[in-house]
Amino acid sequence: MTSTFQARDPGFEARVRASFAAQAAMRTIGAEVEHVAAGEVDVRLPFRDDLTQQHGFVHAGMIGAIADSAAGYAAYTLMPADAAVLSVEYKLNLMAPAAGEAFVARGRVKKAGRTLTVCTADVFAVRDGEERLVATMLATMMTVMDRGLSG
């Protein structure tokens, strides 16, 4: 599927990847950017025992974190080169236990505005090459002109 959005910054992919790499939280949990296109970012999180809750499923907080990053960076792909992105709000629906070898959050822009961008992020558990939807997020991201903020 080809993105319907046009990036304002031709260097958006490198900017997204550099900003993501600067996130200590994503580094700590082992998340990585898997795909970047205008209006789209996928974040992959390998299963780790230290990210689970009491029943052995990946904790909802980890699922929310990768969904938030995927949605935020999807919005960031469409922002000017000198902008930063901040989450304004999100709602996360957990639809199934997070059990799998890895988890992929697919952030997609639904409506890009000058200041606010509405995004979704679907999170899939991957097991034996099969994907199962475990969570979905609706998020609003804000464009902030970078005055010392890193995107």
On the question of pLDDT at 147 being above 80, the answer is no
pLDDT tens per residue across span 19-50: 999 999 999 999 999 999 999 999 999 999 99
Q: Is 121 exposed, middle or buried (0-12, 13-18, 19+ CB in 10 A)?
A: buried
- Residue for token pair 């792909």: 77
Domain ranges of the chain: 12-145
User: Which CATH number is associated with domain 12-145?
Assistant: 3.10.129.10
Token duo for residue 88: 């304004």
Reported in sequence order, the residue ranges of the chain that DSSP labels E, i.e. its strands, are 32-37, 40-46, 83-94, 102-112, 116-127, 130-145
What is the identity of the amino acid at 93? N
On whether the CB atoms of residues 126 and 104 are closer than 8 A, the answer is yes
* Rounded distance between C-alpha atoms, residue 96 and residue 109, angstroms: 24
Tally Cβ neighbours within 10 Å of residue 148.
Answer: 5
pLDDT tens per residue across span 70-103: 999 999 999 999 999 999 999 999 999 999 999 9
> Which of these, 84, 114, 113, 89, lies nearest to 16 by C-alpha position?
84
pLDDT above 90: percentage of residues in the chain: 93
Output the pTM of the full model. Answer: 0.94
